[in-house]
Amino acid sequence: MDQARQPEAMDRCKAILADLVAFPTVSSASNLDIITYLSGALDAAGARFWTEPDATGQKANLVATIGPDRPGGVVLSGHTDVVPVEDQPWSSDPFALVERRGRLYGRGTCDMKGFVAACIAMAPRFAKAELRVPVHFAFTYDEEIGCFGAQALVASLAARGIEPAAAIVGEPTMMQPVDGHKGCYEYTTWVTGLEGHGSAPAKGVNAVEYAARLVMELVRLRSALRTRAPKDCPFDPPYSTINMGALTGGHAHNVIPGKARIDWEMRPVQASDADFVKAGLARLIDGELLPEMRAAFPEAQIETETVAEVAGLERRPRNAARDLVMALTGVNGAGLVPFGTEAGLFQSIGIPSVICGPGAIDQAHKPDEYLSLQQLAQCLQMLERLADRLAQGQIT
């Protein structure tokens, strides 16, 4: 029987998960306390580690290594932040782990503190295995709001010359290997016009009206993207998409609004689609909207802020990470998911990447989020088998 199936391994993992859930690491808050906890646990297992704060000093990434100081090895990647719980009808305290009927309830149990807890629980096993190639633990901040921590992390890995042979991102996939997802690009467009009295529209520049014209252009571009779908594209839907999340502006019925804001996103299946959308917007803004606005108000502006441009995970014929996880789990094949992850960022610096973690994405972000004990046991078993492989110097 694998060591990961033994009761003490599961008990240790559950205790760690209870500690992790108790940290209310909503993306708007600091994650420094959980990073201190994780680094302490990895230090106790004999790992070499370093932390890297963000610009505010209130958040940090953690990278730790067990095994020889040499290229290769495997990254186990997870994020420490969770989504908010406000206005959700939880049946128990979301930041206190509760076990009921074979399920572990709490915010972040499946997305994705369960995977992080499993990694920490298995760290002593990796340390005792006398690994011939290293295992790296990479825990990040702000995945839920734009993968900001992972963007900083991959740049740091590249700068430090750390060259893993594979990355396993433990987002919830029901322990099924996943080797592809679309990119997720998020933007906020600000429109600045000129306020005035509603009885004299010609004396103002109505920011909401110009924002509405931008939204309609995005709708037109969304339709055009359907015709650009690559042949035999495996995604569902098989084309890039655009979504308008919010259009806000104005104060009262009789006031010409001087400010408007559009929150929107696109999920490209190919980089050229993002360029297509940006070029279409630029033609409208520079060729039509801004000249009209500035004829009445020279200081008028339309500015787009890039919130995040998170690369998709491209499905490739050769993928050492996918093949490794298929061997570890015994699953013959890999799938696709509609949600974004940090895996594409690892792939962007040349690290073959795969997504495989415990739990169902259907449980993420919801009240009474849970992770089944069966899924957690399967994750521990995968990591146990990974320790055996790394001790033998095998990746693929």
Q: Tens digit of pLDDT per residue, the chain (396 long)?
A: 354 446 788 999 999 999 999 999 999 999 999 999 999 999 999 999 999 999 999 999 999 999 999 989 999 999 999 999 999 999 999 999 999 999 999 999 999 999 999 999 999 999 999 999 999 999 999 999 999 999 999 999 988 888 899 999 999 999 999 999 999 999 999 999 999 999 999 999 999 999 999 999 999 999 999 999 999 898 989 999 999 999 999 999 999 999 999 999 999 998 899 999 999 999 999 999 999 999 999 999 999 999 988 889 999 999 999 999 999 999 999 999 988 899 999 999 999 999 999 999 999 999 999 999 999 999 999 999 999 999 999 887
Helix (H) or strand (E) holding 117: helix 114-128
Coarse DSSP helix, strand, coil percentages of the chain, rounded to the nearest 5 percent:
40, 25, 40
Cα 293 to its chain centre, rounded Å, is 38
Residue keyed to tokens 């963007």: 151
Whole-number Å distance between alpha carbons of 133 and 74: 8
By the 10 Å C-beta count (0-12 exposed, 13-18 middle, 19+ buried), 191 is classed as buried
pLDDT of residue 3: 46
Looking at the chain, which residues constitute the CATH 3.40.630.10 domain(s)? 3-181+312-391
Cα end-to-end span (Å), the chain = 23
Whole-number Å distance between alpha carbons of 216 and 211: 9
Whole-number Å distance between alpha carbons of 373 and 225: 42
Question: In 3D, which of 111, 103, 86 has the Cα closest to residue 21?
Answer: 111
Q: Which residues are catalytic?
A: 81, 143
Secondary structure of residue 97 in the 3-state scheme: coil
Q: Is residue 75 within 8 Å of 68, Cβ to Cβ? A: no
C-alpha distances in angstroms, 131 versus 11, 81, 136?
Answer: 25, 30, 12
Q: What is the pLDDT of residues 15-62, one digit of tens each?
A: 999 999 999 999 999 999 999 999 999 999 999 999 999 999 999 999
Which two structure tokens, joined as six digits, stand for 216? 């309609």
Select the CATH number that applies to the domain covering 184-310 from these four: 3.30.70.360, 1.10.150.120, 1.20.1260.10, 3.90.420.10.
3.30.70.360
Looking at the chain, which residues constitute the CATH 3.30.70.360 domain(s)? 184-310
Fold of 3-181+312-391: Aminopeptidase (3.40.630)
Question: In 3D, which of 27, 49, 28, 29 has the Cα closest to residue 37?
Answer: 49
pLDDT of residue 4: 47
Between β-strands 301-310 and 255-256, what pairing exists: parallel, antiparallel or unpaired? unpaired
Which two structure tokens, joined as six digits, stand for 40? 């302490």
Q: What is the pLDDT of residues 171-215, one digit of tens each?
A: 999 999 999 999 999 999 999 999 999 999 999 999 999 999 999
Question: In 3D, which of 266, 294, 292, 263 has the Cα closest to residue 280?
Answer: 266
HSE of 298, CA atoms in CB hemisphere, 13 A: 0
